[in-house]
Structure formats: C-alpha cells, structure tokens
Amino acid sequence: MKRVTLKDVAKRSGVSIQTVSRVINNLPYVSEGTKKKVFQAIEELNYRPSVEGRKLASLKNSPKARTNNIGCVLFPTYNKYSEPFFSEILEKIDCCLMEFNLHHYFTYTLHDIQDQSLYYRMINPEMVDGILLIGTGDKYYQEVKKIRKNIDNLVILVDYISDGSISSVYPDGLDAGYQATKYLLNCGHKRIACITGYLEWSGYAKLRFMGYLKALKEFGIKFDENLVGEGKYSIEEAVKATELILKERPTAIFAVSDPMAIGVYKTIQKNGLKIPDDISVIGCDGIRLGEHLWPPLTTIGINKKEMVKEAIKVLIEEIEGKRKTPIRVVFPVYLIERKSCRKI
C-alpha cells in the first residue's frame, strides 16, 4: 500500500506542501480555516508524519529501527502533576521504563491531545513504539479508537474497555470495594455510607461501588440510597457529598478513592466530629498521603510498581509482535489498616 505523503495531504486540502508542514508543526501565520482543511485531509488520508525517514514497516519489525520511546495518555480530567494517585502511577512508569531501557517520551492528558498539531506530531508510531492509556474506559471509547488509528501498540492501565479489544492491567475494583465494606461490617458498622465517583459511569469505574453493594448483601444489610453520594473523584465534590451524607447519621464512610477520603476528613472535622470516635473512614488506592493524615487513613492498597511493570511487559510483547490477542490482567488488592476506623 502506497505511503501517504505531505504532497498527498497538500493536494487533498488545496494548499502548498510548506503550508501543510506549518500546520503539522504548529507554526504561526496559518489561518484557522486552512488548519481545518489540512487536518480534515490528514484524517481522511490517515497520514502519519515521517520522522528522520524511518519507515513504518521497519519500525514494527526491526529492533534497531525502534524508537524505544513510550508515551502515556492520561484520560481522566485530573491535573497530571497534582492528582495524588495518578502522580504515583506516573512516577512508577518512569522507574519501570528505565528498568526496561525504555524512555518515557511524553505524558499528555486527553485535553492536551485535543490540539491537533500536537496530536499528529506526537501520537505517531515514528515518535513512540507504544502508548499506555491511563485511566481510560468505555466512556472514552471514541477517543481510544482515534488513537488506535495512529498507534497499533496500546495497553490500558487502571481501567479497561468492555469489548476486550485492547489489553488492560488494572486493580481488582470489585474486591477493593468488597474488602473495604466488609472490614467496616466486621467492625460492627451497619450504617455505612459510600462516596463514589460518577454513578452513571459503567465498567471499571463502578466496580468499587458494586463491591460495596456485594458486602452489604452478604451481611444482610439493606441498601439505602440516601447513604450514597457522588464525589466525582475530587476532594471538593467529596466535601459536598459528605455534607449531605452526614445528615443521614452514618457510623462509617467508605470513599472509593483516597483523594475523596481527604474531602470526607475535611467535612467531618469541619462539623466538629472526630475520626474514628464519631465516624470511621476507609479509603481506596493506598496513596502515600493517606498515612500522613490525622488519624492515618485505613485504606485498600495496590502494588502500583508491580502493576505498572506488568502493563509495560504486555506493551513490550505487543511491540515485539509476541502477543496476538488482547489480555486482561487483574491485580489483587489488600487492606492497609491504620487508625481511621474503630469497632462499635
């Protein structure tokens, strides 16, 4: 199949080769209308910019022609530098890629790659050999399809696509929710509230909540929807959700992420209540910050480094052509018992 060139894109969009180059490299003095025409032609022709004359076929099959670069795209709308859980994941990616003699070439958020110039320059098999899609799932299926048009080698980390079309490595969310809630039930709690993410999301994002429901059912506790609040994976939204939850007088709260547990702490303490004397709190993720809260947060932990290492191994298998069918690897979780829960 003939490789699409800059000349083909220029011809389709009705501009010069120089103009196409300026658009792709995000250089000034190109109108928005021209940019739109060029990007439309790129999309229609499935053009992939050439870097240093390497050929796509050799990239796939010759180790010497590979870049040894791995990219990351962070899908949730978190700040990639300040969100505690994903910051720790990115830190482990840096560490593990060096162990495999690979280079962490970039990390972009979904918002970043809306810039089409950046997208076509960097989401490119001649810049990276593969990409780790972090925190993506069914909600972002169309965005994943677009990336896959450019990059063959993809692995999802900390989520999955329900149709199983892309390999994924993620924590056991169902067991995380189950273990957290069961721990509280074994402490004697019956009015256990849950600060969840987005209730309308499906797939992985809902697994921890499903684990919460599973434990309640196993212990014969009737589900009370008034004890559930949407924290939307942010401290601020968790504060709002907890304010409403406290009116229902729970004896314990399970926050499905540790950052949301921070919001739970803030609200409980603002209302003059004590943890765990008045309300027990358990989180999920095992971020380092949790042990520095007061009292230190009981949570559900994940071996982040081993999980990241496994995702990189799967991605390498894809890059080297050793994996023909996608797989799912579900990582076990475990209880980290600290001081934020008490028996009643």
- Write out the chain's pLDDT in tens, 344 residues: 567 887 888 888 888 887 887 777 667 777 888 888 888 888 788 776 654 444 444 444 444 468 899 999 998 765 677 789 999 999 999 999 999 999 999 999 988 888 887 888 889 888 899 999 999 888 889 999 989 988 999 999 999 999 999 999 999 999 999 999 999 999 999 999 999 998 888 778 899 999 999 999 999 999 999 999 999 999 999 999 999 999 999 999 999 999 999 999 999 999 999 999 999 999 999 999 999 999 999 999 999 999 999 999 999 999 999 988 999 999 999 999 999 999 99
Fold of 1-47: 434 Repressor (Amino-terminal Domain) (1.10.260)
pTM listed for this prediction: 0.82
Domain with CATH 1.10.260.40 in the chain: 1-47
pLDDT score for 49 = 62
Distance set, CA 259 to CA 127, 196, 247, 283 (Å): 34, 11, 22, 8
Q: Does domain 173-302 have CATH number 3.30.450.40?
A: no
Q: What tokens were used for 70?
A: 């791995």
Domain with CATH 3.40.50.2300 in the chain: 173-302
The bridge status of strand 154-157 relative to strand 167-171 is parallel
pLDDT score for 108 = 93
d(C-alpha 79, C-alpha 107), whole Å: 11
The bridge status of strand 167-171 relative to strand 280-282 is unpaired
Alpha-carbon torsion, ordered 96, 97, 98, 100, to 10 deg: 90
Residue 331: beta bridge partners? 171
pLDDT score for 88 = 95
Give the Cβ contact number of residue 93 at 10 Å: 24
